[in-house]
Amino acid sequence: MKIFTPEDFQDEEELIAKTAELFIKQDVTPNISSIEQHQYEITRQLFQKAGDLGLLAIEIPEAYGGLQLNKKISGLIAEKMGYGGSFSVSYNIHAGVGTLPYVYFGNEPQKQRYLPKLASGEWIGAYALTEPEAGSDALRPKTNAILNEDGSAWVLNGEKQWITNAQLADIFVVFAKTNDGMTAFIVERTFTGVSVGQEEEKMGIKGSSTATLILEDVAIPSDNILGEVGKGHKVAMNILNMARLKLAFSNIGTSKQALQLAVNYGKERKQFQKPIIDFTMIQEKIADMATLIYGAESAAYRTAGEMDNVIELASKESMVHQIADFAMECAINKVNCSEALGKIVDEALQIHGGYGYMQDYEVERLYRDARISRIFEGTNEINRLTIAKMLYKKYAQTTFTNNAPIAYQPSENNHQYIRLSKYLMQIAIFVIVDTQINLEQEQEYMRLLADIAKDIYVMESSLLRTEKAAYEKTKPLMTDILCQEGYRKIEKSTIDIISAAETNEQIRKTWLDDIQHLNIPLHQNLFVKKREVARSIINNPKSIS
């Protein structure tokens, strides 16, 4: 199987990424302190500069002032923008959920009216789905829309909570219930009855605007329906799928930033007469951080590449349906990258010691900013439910054959880990089906299934990437780490499922004995491999980016 990897980008594509990198370094980073203090005139200026550079137009068709580039390049740009602190959040919302609804669901007049302004940065976009009583259960809004007597306009009333870019946005995609079901509306800021509440005081991403959008008898022209009446759920979920992947890429960028800070500090900080980065416990942390990034990159770019392949061949009518098929992969990447980021910023702060807890050090802000990523675009719990449901639907009706993978060559250790992991996944699903577990009532099983699927996807993506990278020494080491540690996690998850679901003691014992007798590769010395990975990262800092 061939997949797209970051090493496959062409020179001209790297130049676009370099533009984003320089924009963050030269324009955003010097202004982070001002942005954190809600000086939104600076944020708006940065949006206009980003528009001039084409960074807001990546996925917008050329006919509307865009560059019409693919998901892979969009992901690479989001990764580079991930170094931009709160501005990266504002950017992701604008370029993602604030723009893509018009690209995929807008009619021709809507595209002509809004996309050029969004591409240039003249207008800033936002997305209003969440409500005080409709967070994770977002498809049951209380905001309502009633069609007036002559059918010329809809009257909207309600509140949308925690809307990113609220103070900045010129235009909102708003979801409201109608008699026919949830519907997406285009709401311009200047419409009578539109107002924005006070800025929220947040733990992190302090420089991004977050406030309540208030709608009081707002008359929306019927022409401002996005998609179809009663089909707003299609807009919401498909756009969220793409937003989850974009967030994953942004998390990769921030993860690389945290790793770089940790390496730099570890080289400079001396204790016991030598740099702390010379201590193997610190090197282990560096290796774990780099390995998490490698797995995250491998999986995310694989998904983007596969989405591009489908989009390229899809008709206009089938494109949205084709994108929906990637809901599981987008959720996997969102969970994996956000949780990898959480671990990475935690270890980066730990390497800084007490200084990492001080606001004078950049890693302190990264630590606070990272936490929201496990909540954004659907909590990781909701995303795990999505993964598990799609996995279960795919495999629950298949016939399980109890034929464990046996023969393999020593050079195929990682292939064997993946084969065995897929076998364990089939066992887990079979046991759940056989014991008639009600997954909706016992969500712990769904959590474990989701984690199994996530770990397999990351392991396989990393191995496929490594096999394309001939003569590269560090990538195989990180793949060895990912596959060996990933298998251990999958084995434990499968054992937990069997132990909880199977009440027949003899059957349970048979399953557990079978797992213990699988032909598992001899575990390798990961201490040595991690030291080699760490030395490679320390000696070649450019390898991080």
**Tens of pLDDT along 88-120?**
999 999 999 999 999 999 999 999 999 999 999
Q: How many residues does the chain have?
A: 545
Q: In this structure, what token pair is assigned to residue 478?
A: 């990180």
How high does pLDDT run on average in the chain? 96
Q: Would you list the DSSP string of 58-123?
A: TTS-GGGT-----HHHHHHHHHHHTTSTHHHHHHHHHHTTTTHHHHHH--HHHHHHHHHHHHHTSS
pLDDT at residue 169 is higher than 80 = yes
In this prediction, residue 545 carries a pLDDT of: 65
- Residue 93 CA: distances (Å) to CA of 88, 118, 142, 165, 407: 9, 12, 23, 8, 49
Q: Taking the alpha carbons of 306, 307, 310, 313 in that order, is the dihedral positive or negative? A: negative
CATH of domain 383-544: 1.20.140.10
Q: In this structure, what token pair is assigned to residue 193?
A: 């009855």
Region 112-131: what's the mean pLDDT? Answer: 98
Percent of the chain with pLDDT over 90: 90
Catalytic residue among 79, 329, 347, 377: 377
The half-sphere exposure of 299 on its side-chain side, counting CA atoms within 13 A, is 34
Contact by Cβ (8 Å): 141, 175: yes
Instruction: Give the lowest-confidence range in 156-165, 194-203, 265-274, 469-478.
Output: 469-478
pLDDT band at 543 (very low <50, low <70, confident <90, very high): confident
The helix-helix angle for 280-313 and 71-81 (nearest 10°) equals: 150
Buried b (16+ CB within 10 A) or exposed e, 218-232: bebeeebbbbebebb
Task: Please tell me the distance from the alpha carbon of residue 238 to that of residue 288, in angstroms, as a whole number.
Answer: 33
pLDDT at residue 470 is higher than 80 = no
List, by residue range, all CATH 1.20.140.10 domains of the chain: 233-378, 383-544
440 has catalytic annotation: no
Q: What is the tens place of the pLDDT at every residue in 295-309?
A: 999 999 999 999 999
Region 43-64: what's the mean pLDDT? Answer: 98
Q: What is the tens place of the pLDDT at every residue in 248-262?
A: 999 999 999 999 999
Contact by Cβ (8 Å): 163, 211: yes
Q: What is the tens place of the pLDDT at every residue in 144-155?
A: 999 999 999 999
Other C-beta atoms lying within 10 Å of the C-beta of residue 189: 17
pLDDT at residue 283 is higher than 70 = yes
Task: Please tell me the distance from the alpha carbon of residue 192 to that of residue 195, in angstroms, as a whole number.
Answer: 9
Contact by Cβ (8 Å): 50, 77: no
pLDDT at residue 400 is higher than 90 = no
Range 233-378 classified under CATH 3.40.50.720: no
pTM (2 d.p.): 0.96
